[in-house]
Amino acid sequence: MKYDKISGFADEIAEDVDTQFQVLKKLGIGYFEPRGIDGKNIAKLSDSEVASLKEKMEREGIKVSSIGSPIGKIRLDEDFEAHFERFRRVVEIAKMLDARYIRMFSFYRPAGENAGEWTAKEREEVINRLRRMIAHAKEQNVVLLHENEKDIYGDTAERCEDLMRELSCQHFQAVFDPANFVQCRQDTKEAYEKLKDFVSYVHIKDAFMKDGSVVPAGSGDGNVEYILKSLFDAGYDGFLSLEPHLGSFAGLAALELDDKMLDLPQGGEGTFTLAYRALEEIIDKIK
């Protein structure tokens, strides 16, 4: 593979971080996007647990590409002040782990409200919350990366573009997740054209438009090869972070796997390896 900024959500390999790092090293991956650490969300680690993680990272030669935080995954009618304190803690953890980037989201509508029908007042609340978070990110010199996620404000390309045109700066940029756009019934090529000037990070995940099921990169309707080639042609040199979501992938047996994909280990290591090999094939083709 001719690209060294590969990362991934290694908690999809296993809960315990030692196994996560073993598999990453076996695959030659030098970064990870910490989300689940020994069965605990990254945002809930104590100082001593963060220090232990940092020690293991240094011992194994693994660095953080971005904190895989849950920030912004609450409803607008939930307590934002408590959530903001959790956000401040995530920023502290990021700095302790020498992480520049923090993945985050842009909130759900209040309970019982239709996910796609945002009002002007709700949009304003989202913008105000994000503005406050961006101000803190600027103070602390970290970068918030907004992920397009189904049912949050910034799920469609249009609303992601709205957020970026309103708020983008050195401390607020976009994650491009092809599968999430597919699951929102979005054409990923059109989404890329809207957001290409704001993309600082990419999640490697693909899906079928017909039912939203997640498949290895290049096997679905996410136009992953097209997106990556377009990004590389434009000079992109950021991270590509594997988020396989293949644990319940029912079509695995039907794939025409080449020799590199035969006899994969069982469980999380196997599906993570499959996701990596699929990305490897795409990169070998376009770089």
Which CATH number characterizes residue 145's domain?
A: 3.20.20.150
- Per the listing, tokens 């992601």 go with 160
1 belongs to a structural domain: no
- What pLDDT, on the 0 to 100 scale, is given for residue 251? 41
Task: Give the torsion sign (CA, 274, 279, 282, 285).
Answer: negative
Q: Is the pLDDT of residue 258 over 90?
A: no
Token pair in block for residue 157:
């390309």
272 belongs to a structural domain: yes
11 belongs to a structural domain: yes
- What pLDDT, on the 0 to 100 scale, is given for residue 254? 43
Cα angle 9, 2, 284 (rounded to 5 degrees) comes to 90
142 belongs to a structural domain: yes
66 belongs to a structural domain: yes
Structural domain boundaries, residue 282? 6-286
d(CA 199, CA 26) in angstroms, rounded, equals 29
37 belongs to a structural domain: yes
* The dihedral formed by the CA atoms of 159, 157, 166 and 93, expressed in degrees to the nearest 10: 100
- Supply φ then ψ for residue 147, to 5 degrees: -95, 130
- Predicted model pTM: 0.92
Task: Count CB atoms within 10 A of the CB of residue 151.
Answer: 15
Across 27-41, 69-83, 266-280, least confident range: 266-280
Q: Give the pairing of strands 143-147 and 172-176.
A: parallel
The pLDDT tens digits of the residues spanning 203-257 come to: 999 999 999 888 999 999 999 999 999 999 999 999 999 998 775 433 444 444 4
Q: Give the pairing of strands 40-41 and 143-147.
A: unpaired
Q: Is the pLDDT of residue 260 over 60?
A: no
Who wins on pLDDT, 113 or 199? Answer: 199
Structural domain total, the chain: 1
Classify residue 30 by its DSSP letter.
-
Q: How much is the average pLDDT of 171-183? A: 97
CB 126 within 8 A of CB 151: no
